[in-house]
């Protein structure tokens, strides 16, 4: 087989065999197939799509490109390890609060997370706002920390799903992020490689997600649930809204601060609700008895009593982070310039485009515009007004955290031009959770 023939077949709309997909992934992982051919292949998939069978074969090929973990061997028979993954959104810092919350209730959480893709921020980038925190964890440390603390979050390693690590970075800079089978295979290969018994997926839909309509998001959710079930995992998917940013902050250190607030039970209502909803699903799949409502109530108690926060502190310390920086978030990276974008008129916020806010955060330096770009952890946007809020002319709609005046001025211009829309009448309340797929 030749890589170019596989590219041409996909370009022309053919369904690739499992053998062809395995050949391509193995060649790319080992360096026999270069970036430019992998980019062409990904673009062909962008235009031609993949069948569910191809997506499943791609997931398994990526999974088999490296080692697989077996964390269940670390615990007594019957114990379960759970994992969670989001398809990505603007202001999505959910893992930072959710993982320690669930782990504090005695359910081990071991996960591999990624960096930002496109306008969507990454969990790893947010955690690296803490000095000393490291995510390049060898398998031995991953397993030891999971056993001793019950919580570990690692980045892509050379051992686990290495093909996904290469493809993940390539997609970010080649315009091939919003491709359903590539998203599904990326998510599920990492989840299967980390060996969790149960996996809860947070599938985002809206302007600020890679899935823009509910039907498309439901297709992705069902595909990933079926891939996981075929591999013997317990699965559930929560489809949540991403037309406006989640919570009030967009930007790495800013989002970490908001997660810390949430772990102290003073987070924004929408973000806290999503964390509690996902926690209940993870507990349910993990074998904790009770109805959804009872498990959500349990999660709320755990945020209020401080045990989730203590688990987060243990986790940060275990991975080398400076705990003083989370005990006092004012020590986290801070931008030298903080100025508002003011409402041009009075009325109600009718629209707050998550994608535009995400792109503005990237332009400020909070994301990557090309492969290998460094992240400025301090910059971003703090939202003062969200959809449905009444505003007066001259009132701050948001606060821009920037590292230079020119970027700040451009961010302000773009926020007022393309992100916010003010109307005379209040809009209907936007949904947060669309559906749960089991």
Residues acting as catalytic residues? 85, 164, 171, 186, 190
CB atoms within 10 A of CB 226: 16
Residue 425 CA to residue 422 CA, distance in Å, equals 9
**H helix runs in 237-291, sequence order:** 252-263, 269-285
Q: Which residue has the tokens 């980390």?
A: 194
Strand partners, 380: 401
CB 392, CB 347: distance < 8 Å? no
Residue 292 CA to residue 282 CA, distance in Å, equals 10
CA angle 191, 173, 216 (to 5 degrees): 55
Edge-first strand listing for the sheet containing 82-86: 151-154, 109-112, 82-86, 198-205, 234-241, 433-437
Q: Which residue has the tokens 């809020």?
A: 389
| Helices and strands in the chain: count of H runs, count of E runs | 17, 13
**Tokens found for residue 435:** 């559906």
Task: Tell me if residue 343 falls in helix, strand or coil.
Answer: coil
**Tokens found for residue 186:** 């990326």
Q: N- to C-terminal Cα distance for the chain? A: 39
Task: Tell me if residue 160 falls in helix, strand or coil.
Answer: strand
Radius of gyration for the chain, computed over Cα atoms and rounded to the nearest angstrom = 21
Closest CA to 108 of 133, 129, 87, 78: 78
Residue 353 CA to residue 359 CA, distance in Å, equals 10
Residue 69 CA to residue 191 CA, distance in Å, equals 10
Residue 21 CA to residue 26 CA, distance in Å, equals 8
Residue 340 CA to residue 271 CA, distance in Å, equals 23
């Amino acid at each position: 087989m030749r890589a170019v023939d596989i590219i041409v077949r996909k370009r022309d709309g053919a369904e690739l065999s499992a053998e062809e997909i395995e050949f391509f992934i193995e060649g790319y992982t080992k360096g026999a197939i270069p970036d430019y051919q992998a980019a062409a292949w990904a673009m062909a998939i962008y235009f031609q799509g993949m069948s569910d069978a191809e997506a499943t074969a791609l997931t398994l090929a990526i999974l088999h490109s490296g080692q697989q973990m077996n964390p269940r061997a670390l615990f007594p028979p019957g114990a379960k390890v759970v994992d969670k993954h989001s398809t990505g959104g603007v202001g999505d810092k959910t893992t930072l609060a959710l993982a320690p919350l669930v782990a504090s209730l005695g359910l081990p959480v071991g996960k591999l997370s990624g960096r930002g893709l496109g306008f969507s921020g990454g969990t790893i980038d947010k955690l690296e706002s803490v000095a000393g925190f490291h995510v390049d964890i060898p398998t031995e440390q991953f397993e030891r920390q999971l056993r001793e603390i019950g919580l570990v979050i690692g980045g892509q390693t050379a051992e686990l799903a290495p093909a996904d690590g290469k493809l993940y970075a390539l997609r970010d800079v080649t315009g091939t992020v919003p491709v359903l089978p590539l998203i599904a295979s990326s998510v599920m290969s990492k989840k299967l490689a980390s060996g969790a018994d149960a996996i809860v997926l947070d599938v985002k839909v809206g302007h600020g997600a890679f899935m823009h309509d509910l039907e498309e998001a439901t297709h992705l959710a069902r595909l990933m649930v079926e891939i996981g079930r075929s591999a013997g995992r317990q699965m559930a998917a929560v489809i949540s809204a991403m037309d406006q940013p989640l919570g009030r902050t967009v930007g790495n250190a800013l989002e970490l601060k908001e997660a810390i607030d949430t772990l102290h039970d003073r987070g924004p209502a929408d973000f806290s609700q999503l964390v509690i909803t996902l926690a209940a699903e993870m507990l349910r799949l993990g074998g904790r008895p009770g109805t959804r409502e009872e498990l959500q109530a349990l999660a709320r108690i755990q945020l209020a009593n401080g045990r989730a926060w203590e688990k987060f502190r243990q986790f940060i310390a275990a991975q080398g982070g400076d705990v003083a920086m989370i005990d006092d978030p004012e020590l986290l990276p801070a931008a030298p310039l903080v100025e508002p974008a003011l409402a041009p008129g009075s009325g109600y916020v009718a629209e707050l485009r998550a994608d535009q806010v995400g792109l503005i955060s990237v332009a400020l330096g909070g994301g990557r515009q090309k492969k290998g770009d460094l992240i400025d952890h301090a910059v971003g946007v703090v939202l003062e007004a969200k959809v449905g809020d009444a505003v007066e002319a001259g009132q701050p709609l948001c606060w821009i955290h920037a590292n230079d005046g020119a970027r700040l001025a451009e961010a302000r211009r773009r926020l007022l031009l393309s992100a916010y829309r003010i109307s005379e009448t209040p809009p209907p309340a936007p949904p947060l959770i669309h559906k749960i797929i089991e």
